[in-house]
A and B are shown apart, each in its own frame.
Chain A
């Protein structure tokens, strides 16, 4: 589904990440872990072709090269990016944004169907129905913003969901709602997940199939649950000692 080959990322000529290789198949859950500033969010943004990043290497999604595709085209292909700080857009309601997005995807919904779905999704996310008429993420708490983004996700039906520290600033109940919503959607859609997080709570709830440790500008190690345990128990410093020689794959 998503294949990243030899991806190197620079910002203003400074190399942030080097030779990143990653493959995500449909239905799989991958977690990116690493210390602050390691470049986890940068990988997520690079997949969406963020304007500030210079890239070499290739990113393929559904066998199409999206390395330099426009962000909207990438999103329309089915990649949904949920950032830790969703933007606040004044003057635009959630309904206006979502209807525009659905129209752009050539999947317009008539107002009755839109409202019906909205009621279902709001109930699922434990949001009031009036939420759809609020300005996008304006004056919302951290938890409300994340739920608001999930509301968008349910409408847009992505094939790959990127969760970039979606759990930051959320209480345990909010994390449970977020993970439950994503899990339920994943069950019905067989979508893949790429999760960036520092917290074990979300990982315990979503149970990633693969964990990638990002350190020293690259993916240092890829593994399964045992790597996750190792990271959570021993921290990132533990991996710092033998970073150059121990690039292994537990698969």
Chain B
């Protein structure tokens, strides 16, 4: 597996993944951007990262042709207003897509996170799973939209959104180890994001 850091410097970038690749980091600009990622036939793209987003406005489009494997797990800590759309287009056949975003809005701003899975007509045996998991901190608001457009019958497609908040029993457990409430809450949030790296 080759390792790659994605750094977006222009408002439009195009990347072709032509060998099995792990994306170790994503660096987004503060200006609006579109990133298109093309995964070639038979290639695996893998990325498990925790990112801090601050005033991000971007669209990431992933295009898979045939027999690709795309595993993206992102923990997103959102500071200020952010708008991020992650789209996976399955253009061909026998692709596997597993996208999980774990999200915490860290302060009193409003962010919008959208995922779109689009399975094109006349394709077969694709599998797509998209999960948005939100940790509700205080009363901070966040808009999450999991979208799925399925234009073929031969597909396994799942998407879901879950919302979690501070769990009193977990906090009691951590406090019973001598960890004070504030630190216990911070551990719970860190754990929520870090779980994708484990």
Contacts and interface: CB of A to CB of B under 8 A. Distances in A.
B170 interface: yes
Nearest to B198: A135
B100 to A, nearest CB: 13
A70 B175 contact: yes
A96 B174 CA distance: 12
A166 to B, nearest CB: 14
A48 interface: yes
A71 B191 CA distance: 21
Interface string A174-205: 00000000000000000000000000000000
B172 A90 contact: no
Contact of B187 (A51, A70, A100): A100
Nearest to A100: B179
A118 B190 CA distance: 23
A156 B193 contact: no
B112 to A, nearest CB: 25
Contacts of B188: 89
Nearest to B180: A72
A70 B143 CA distance: 35
A91 B178 contact: no
B181 A91 contact: no
Interface residues of A, number: 30
Among A90, A91, A156, chain B packs the most CB atoms within 10 A around the CB of A91
A104 B183 contact: yes
B162 interface: no
B179 A101 contact: yes
B178 A90 contact: no
B172 A71 contact: yes
A89 B191 contact: yes
A104 B196 CA distance: 26
Interface string A26-68: 0000000000000000000000101110000000000000000
A81 interface: yes
A48 B174 contact: no
Interface string B138-163: 00000000000000000000000000
Given A70-B181, A156-B178, A91 B195 contact: yes
Contact of A92 (B169, B178, B181, B191): B191
Contacts of A125: none
A86 B173 contact: yes
Contacts of A76: 178
A76 B197 CA distance: 31
Contacts of B168: 51-52
Contact of B177 (A90, A91, A152): A152
Contacts of B175: 70-72, 75
A89 B193 contact: no
Among A76, A93, A100, A105, chain B packs the most CB atoms within 10 A around the CB of A100
Contacts of A52: 168
A75 B191 CA distance: 22
A101 to B, nearest CB: 5
A91 B191 contact: yes
B190 A72 contact: no
A97 B170 contact: no
A36 B168 CA distance: 24
A247 to B, nearest CB: 32
Nearest to A90: B195
A90 B196 CA distance: 9
Interface of A: 48, 50-52, 70-72, 74-76, 80-81, 83, 86-87, 89-93, 96-98, 100-101, 104-105, 135, 152, 156
Given A75-B177, A97-B179, 7 more contacts: A51-B172, A52-B168, A71-B176, A83-B173, A89-B188, A92-B190, A135-B195
The 5 closest A-B pairs by CB, nearest first: A91-B191, A91-B195, A91-B194, A71-B175, A87-B173
Interface of B: 168-170, 172-181, 183-184, 187-188, 190-198
25 contacts: A51-B168, A51-B172, A70-B180, A72-B177, A72-B178, A72-B179, A72-B180, A75-B178, A76-B178, A86-B173, A87-B170, A89-B173, A89-B187, A89-B188, A91-B194, A92-B187, A93-B198, A97-B177, A97-B179, A97-B187, A98-B177, A100-B187, A101-B178, A104-B183, A152-B177
